[in-house]
Amino acid sequence: MRSEKFFCKKCRRYFDELKIYEERHGFDQPPYERVAICPECNGDDYFKFDCFIEKQEVAERLLPIIMKLNRLYESLTAVFGNKILNRDLSDSLEMAVELIVEMFDFLDIDLQKRILKMDNDAEMEKIFMYLKGGL
């Protein structure tokens, strides 16, 4: 699976492959000048990046947030149990964690489950180590 992506600065879209344009400069025989351009707007102002590296950097920023949300949710249920007056609060915390975990769709389902249950620094460090060596 290719992890290389492109972002066009002109039309602000992401794309997987460049379009190759042949500039003939009025000549009717090759060699022609080949120019890589955006497939949407034909602009040539784009940059290339590696998705896995980008996702790993995002993961390293988000994992501590997920851990804090997990701890907050567990603290609320430990204190209030089923008597939480505003059930929407605990539901929204749970949904927030699940939405953030969806950003980790490039990971296998078992690791996603571990991230959902992560509640201590040691577990977070194990996941960091996997991300650094597993991508």
pLDDT of residue 107: 67
Domains of the chain by residue range: 4-44, 51-134
Segment 81-127, tens digit of pLDDT: 666 655 556 666 666 766 666 666 666 677 777 777 788 888 888 87
**pLDDT confidence of residue 36:** 92
Residue 27 C-beta-side C-alpha neighbours within 13 Å = 9
Please tell me the distance from the alpha carbon of residue 6 to that of residue 107, in angstroms, as a whole number.
Answer: 22
Give the predicted TM-score (pTM) of the model. 0.38
Mean pLDDT over 20-35 rounds to 89
Written as one string, the DSSP assignment of 66-83 is HHHHHHHHHHHHHHHGGG
